Structure 1
């Protein structure tokens, strides 16, 4: 943010410097300006424009009469002989800057061999960079040498395996410490990076799994590492940790808790909430704070609070790799929730220290985009930014063998970047899932370039959470009192038809493989808490039926099925809509409550099984949906959803009302699900009980 100090100067193009002077600083007046370089040369600047601003500052737009050398430290002198650093600002966004500095083939970060380690950083606007090695009680420093394309490099002889290090960067008139943004190896709370011989990692051998044929085959279950095992007395020795997440023993099996419980659900994919290093939990005092982790500090290192030994940079890598490997051995794929749209603390973010302003959306006035609400929207358009995040995706896949990426606030990112992510990841691992929150975020990125739902046709392999499905089936997300179809608002029956067809029949989406259907996720009130308000006055038994009805619509709809952990038993967060920093008592998966709501869990598990067994609920294209999905209504209240795929033909009845209805099937079949318990399996004269779901499979004797 500009205009915080009395006198500021910014290099915004190769021939423009913008100066801001407070009215309290020499009345904001200067008749002339000069630019001083490191050799003490004084370069005259021409005043092109002067304007008084509303906030008590005077703005001067100055032109430079001689060529600039990027990486030189400059100061701007006023006519009162006062000077201020000329900070490299919007110039890093220019095409000239890209041409001069982004033709990079160099590997960046620390590259280890037993005889030496090479440290390389990209920092075109830096003047000097110093490496600090922490060997025992000693700190050794080495100056990095500036090379072509803004690369700084130094080779340090000897075996540095296990040695912590940081950098000191001189840029924009100040020295700033930073860690290595390119490494996966970090000490507690990201205080230092660590040189590691990656051949010593001893990661588990990858489990070969058949590539997923269609995104619609996925049943995604969203989990938090911490929440799944933070409940007391569930038999887990290491709660809230990577190792505790996959721990199984006689007690977890007997009580059906933790990973034993996850396996029992029958889901195909875990979506794990952020596991990359985040700043909102102190790794030295892990139980003092709770946070979901949407506050990234390092994009390649993992969060230390989930490790048994946060001080050991290798331990957390090995633990998470074993977690993914164990999931794969049990037939469960793993998608990571990544937050590439903002950072926790821009001033302490290593890439910002190395090249200020380059990695964030900024306009020509030096203002930063705030579509994320965090004041520092990441810019994935510049070449080196795009390259950094693409290489991060590659690193996560190669190291951990993950199966997909879910992008938080994906609408902050640009279309070209997301398409390159899909191409990159799928070239490494066919069937890899890419999806995210395609909300149209109010950032500096033009609307036609945002990776948002409105531009879904330009992103053939990118999925989007369907907030339309949520609003129609669950009811308004902003108004807890407004009901959706599943909670009794039958006025939404026509919209319910559309979302059950993955919004492909009215052309909101052009493929069911892009549509993530959900009624609950980590954000906002749980479905149970929403219905507690929306359906006020209804008893617990009825709310259980409404929960099953909504879960059924998620699990039987065309598109991708998504369930938030605990949704399958009516999870509550005590009516707290945003529990991101609430304690374990609010966020923990409550297995006692699960036991109390066995009916919801049992029916949801059965619906998961039915979706997996019946391909007509998992059609792959909009054309298949057009030809094989149809609807009718019973008295404009009950929705009849008909699906067909080869020999798999089904009628599904959704009744969110207090009335009972009849429907005669002209063709013989079998009732394979009926939580109203009103029909014999082979009965053709069906009774659709109040608040129930009924599935009739045709042609089975």
Structure 2
């Protein structure tokens, strides 16, 4: 590194140090006062030769007997010489016999000088010396009127120079002091490699020689940071990198893994940008950890990211980390069940069938969407033997991997590395990773309230009592920075936003535009729920809704197509049904299915356009098509209950009683039909974990017992967010029992990936190459689609039939039936043919 040398001359003494003088008084000097020599610190020395006149002595402070040690005279042997040491801090004495005092060299005193300045919060930092004359230290200064002094004893009684030494902001200096001449020398480091980082984000920005701590504090100036037990005042800094109203302090040294806590008005506050937190710290505890993230990379390096040519090529699979492997049937090693590393353990099986990540590879999905994996509040720090369970929609630290999913939550480097390894192994398996993020609210107000209530909206938009207000620029920036951090540091491939509908679409545009610009090669998936927590919102017109989604088309932001979902299955939490149950009246006589088949395309000239009109996607990638997710009944539970009779539910959707269906064959056919519709519609398909083998979220899978559907006063199968593993754990025996359902999902996924016509990339292509028909003679039960996409090697003809078997006429030429109610098929067809009811039938024609 290069250095610029500046010498400060003419230092002056402020005050003399009134140090105590310690004196030897005893029989060798007739009890007069002989000053002791200061050796170092609090140690003093003399050598004395004693006669035979009752030899003894004391150590007297100031030589006036007002303070002397010990209380009784210290006695020694007659006619002997002694090296005598006195320790002024403990007031203890040692007397070591020597042959001759002339042979004893009185050790010169070791001096101490201390650095004190803005770089260390004006604390006393000892300076190093090799010759007891020149004392040196290296310090890093922030943008807080940087200055310093050199203090002799660390108590301000003697310090140099008279005026503070002023230095440049955001700079590091080698500082030396000559104890003889009292001259201060500063050498500014012009850094090349290992220099402190000028922060470009808030939080704790690490470098090997210093860490800069920054916090947004719009109303309060009493801001400090405690680092490893030492408190440092934080000073207001000018706006930088788009940040305003920021307080900052730079603390020297390599602080990797050191604990730190911000304080505002003396109250602990959490670091909204924290990269790690002390495991188990809960409400109103805010202990973060400084991290050198370069030490946390996967041990074998980052693998190549799986290719994604177009976003419509995605097939999303939603799973919960714990659910997927916690049951012994997962085949995952016992210590990894329910953990990050358990998700990606290869080679796991149950009675000969694949489980875990190998199951996902076999199924053929392109993305996994992980329910919250950041540090959430519920079940905080508890062992897996504890019955506590939660989905994780209660954020505590947005940028930190959840400790409960780590095998080593207190090994902070390894905890991060586990998460990165999980992402890396998914990538090696050809699967991208989407994070479920919950920026719309916090666990409770304690997360941010003592920093500023500007973090929160005035009204409760999320239904949790603490909705985040992204219309505040610095709050919006925090969300953007968090998203960028996960993509950049952890190689995340996209985000699913919980209740994205509480945000103004203009803010979401900013976040997505920033991410897609900075990571232009990633084809990130960004989508969310376009509704809020059932709240009245005075800014409804600018929030993310179906009616505003088209504004975000250039930023590649999509939303869940709840309108298509309800048109397919009916209600989410009771037995009301729709098209896939052949209830075409509930599905707008088939027109809602007609539109969903085409990707719910937005037409600016459609007079029906409104906040919740179902045709909203200005590009097919904006429509996330699904029939079940973690919320509400799982697909099989919904179908099973709808196929039951005499169903009684309370106002919380809990099941009180029902008569189970006597034959499940129709119900299983409905499941295939519903997923077949999703997998052959334009847009991006979404599957909830376990739907592919009829997973039930009833207690211990006792699906025929009404009692097994309920947990607590409100939860259970329809809302299992806090129900135990007995409700939520995936049992891999279901894959064996329902292999026909699994094969259907797998085969329809393969057909989708094989045919570009099922995943066209623009509304213009869909309008040109997909002809959808709803023939009147079938009363809305039959909908057909003829696809002639030139990028596909085949023409496609797809028939949706919710009713009985029907005879339909194919377009001209020879066709091959490639899918029916049971999955993949292979039959040559020409002219008229019968298509099964409650089924998707697909034909291909070689071009």
Length-normalised TM-score, structure 2: 0.65
User: What residue is the counterpart of 1:65 in the other structure?
Assistant: none
- Flag the structure with larger Rg: 2
Q: Please give the per-residue CA displacement for 1:351-396, whole angstroms capped at 9, x wherever unaligned.
A: 4322x2111112xxxxxx2121101111111121111111111111
Tell me, in whole angstroms, the C-alpha distance in 2 between the residues paired with 1:547 and 1:178: 49
User: What residue is the counterpart of 1:60 in the other structure?
Assistant: none
The answer to whether structure 1 residue 295 and structure 2 residue 386 are counterparts is: no
User: What residue is the counterpart of 1:321 in the other structure?
Assistant: 420
User: What residue is the counterpart of 1:6 in the other structure?
Assistant: none
User: What residue is the counterpart of 1:504 in the other structure?
Assistant: 601
SS in 2 for 1:167: strand
User: What residue is the counterpart of 1:484 in the other structure?
Assistant: 578
Q: Please give the per-residue CA displacement for 1:635-686, whole angstroms capped at 9, x wherever unaligned.
A: 2333222222114311122222244545456320211112359986113342
SS in 2 for 1:657: coil
Unaligned runs of 5+ in 2: 1-197, 239-243, 607-614, 645-660, 699-708, 710-716
Equivalent residue for 2:316, pick from 204, 207, 220: 220
Query: Which residues of 2 match residues 334-483 of structure 1 at below 5 A?
Result: 334-347=433-446, 349=447, 351-354=448-451, 356-362=452-458, 369-430=459-520, 431-439=523-531, 442=535, 444=537, 446-460=539-553, 461-477=556-572, 480-483=574-577
More helix by share: 1
Tell me, in whole angstroms, the C-alpha distance in 1 between the residues paired with 2:252 and 2:314: 49
* Deviation of the 1:444 alpha carbon: 4.3
Tell me, in whole angstroms, the C-alpha distance in 2 between the residues paired with 1:107 and 1:564: 36
Structure 1 residues 124 and 302 mapped into 2: Cα distance closer, same or farther (>3 Å)? same
Q: Please give the per-residue CA displacement for 1:585-610, whole angstroms capped at 9, x wherever unaligned.
A: 11112211121111111011000000
Structure 1 residues 331 and 244 mapped into 2: Cα distance closer, same or farther (>3 Å)? same
Query: Which residues of 2 match residues 263-282 of structure 1 at below 5 A?
Result: 263-282=361-380
**Residue pair 2:348, 2:358 contacting (<8 A) in 1 also:** no
User: What residue is the counterpart of 1:641 in the other structure?
Assistant: 785
Bigger relative contact order, structure 1 or 2 (CA pairs below 8 A, ≥6 apart): 1
* Deviation of the 1:619 alpha carbon: 1.2
User: What residue is the counterpart of 1:626 in the other structure?
Assistant: 767
Tell me, in whole angstroms, the C-alpha distance in 2 between the residues paired with 1:651 and 1:477: 30
**Residue pair 1:546, 1:656 contacting (<8 A) in 2 also:** no
* Deviation of the 1:426 alpha carbon: 1.0
* Deviation of the 1:434 alpha carbon: 1.0
Structure 1 residues 296 and 206 mapped into 2: Cα distance closer, same or farther (>3 Å)? same
**Residue pair 1:676, 1:688 contacting (<8 A) in 2 also:** no
* Deviation of the 1:336 alpha carbon: 0.8
Q: Please give the per-residue CA displacement for 1:244-303, whole angstroms capped at 9, x wherever unaligned.
A: 110113646943111111111101111111111111122134433111111111111111
Tell me, in whole angstroms, the C-alpha distance in 2 between the residues paired with 1:186 and 1:440: 30
Tell me, in whole angstroms, the C-alpha distance in 2 between the residues paired with 1:407 and 1:562: 14
User: What residue is the counterpart of 2:653 in the other structure?
Assistant: none
Q: Please give the per-residue CA displacement for 1:557-609, whole angstroms capped at 9, x wherever unaligned.
A: 01111111111122211241111001111111221112111111101100000
**Residue pair 2:211, 2:251 contacting (<8 A) in 1 also:** yes
Tell me, in whole angstroms, the C-alpha distance in 2 between the residues paired with 1:388 and 1:445: 24
More strand by share: 2
SS in 2 for 1:697: strand
SS in 2 for 1:550: helix
**Residue pair 1:338, 1:407 contacting (<8 A) in 2 also:** yes
The answer to whether structure 1 residue 132 and structure 2 residue 226 are counterparts is: yes
Structure 1 residues 133 and 252 mapped into 2: Cα distance closer, same or farther (>3 Å)? farther
Tell me, in whole angstroms, the C-alpha distance in 1 between the residues paired with 2:431 and 2:487: 16
Query: Which sits farther off after the overlay, 641-650 or 560-569?
Result: 641-650
User: What residue is the counterpart of 2:33 in the other structure?
Assistant: none
**Residue pair 1:422, 1:434 contacting (<8 A) in 2 also:** yes
Tell me, in whole angstroms, the C-alpha distance in 2 between the residues paired with 1:276 and 1:336: 9
The answer to whether structure 1 residue 617 and structure 2 residue 758 are counterparts is: yes
Tell me, in whole angstroms, the C-alpha distance in 1 between the residues paired with 2:338 and 2:203: 31
Structure 1 residues 250 and 280 mapped into 2: Cα distance closer, same or farther (>3 Å)? closer
User: What residue is the counterpart of 2:342 in the other structure?
Assistant: 244
Q: CA RMSD in A?
A: 2.3
Tell me, in whole angstroms, the C-alpha distance in 2 between the residues paired with 1:107 and 1:464: 29
Equivalent residue for 1:563, pick from 673, 687, 693: 687
Tell me, in whole angstroms, the C-alpha distance in 2 between the residues paired with 1:656 and 1:620: 28
**Residue pair 1:283, 1:304 contacting (<8 A) in 2 also:** yes
* Deviation of the 1:208 alpha carbon: 3.3
